Amino acid sequence: MKCPYCGASLVHTKCKRWVYWRCNTTMEYTKNVCKGISVPERFIIELNEQTPITEPMVVVEDINEKESRKRHQKSYRLIPATEYEGYSK
C-alpha cells in the first residue's frame, strides 16, 4: 500500500492499543516532508475483503465536507498505483 501524497509505502504501527498503517516518509521525517496518511487497520482489513490487495495500491481518503471533522465518518478506497494520477514510482 502506498501514500497518495508521496508514494512511500505504508508501514504497520501500534499506538498504545490502536493499530494503524502510516506513511513511511511521515514516520521517518516529519509532516513538513509529507503530510502523509494514517489508516486504522480495521479499514485496511475491510478494504482487502472488498478488493484483495495483489499489487501496489494507493490508499485514498474520501472526504465528506459535512462530516470531515468526525473521525469515525472517514472512509477509504484503494486505487491501483498504476492508475493513480499522482503516483510516480
Q: What are the 10-residue block averages of pLDDT along the chain, 89 residues in total? A: 92 89 90 89 90 88 62 77 70
In a domain, 29, yes or no: yes
Q: Which pLDDT belongs to residue 68?
A: 47
> Model-level pTM?
0.74
In a domain, 3, yes or no: no
In a domain, 14, yes or no: yes
* DSSP state, residue 24: H
Domain that holds residue 28: 10-83
In a domain, 89, yes or no: no
Q: Which pLDDT belongs to residue 19?
A: 94
Q: Which pLDDT belongs to residue 64?
A: 65
In a domain, 51, yes or no: yes
Cβ-proximal residues to 23 (8 Å cutoff; 6+ apart), any chain: 3, 5, 6, 8, 10, 11, 34, 36, 37, 38
Burial 54-66 (b: 16+ CB within 10 A, else e): eeebbbeeeeeee
Residue among 43, 36, 42 at smallest CA distance from 10: 36
In a domain, 1, yes or no: no
Q: Which pLDDT belongs to residue 41?
A: 92
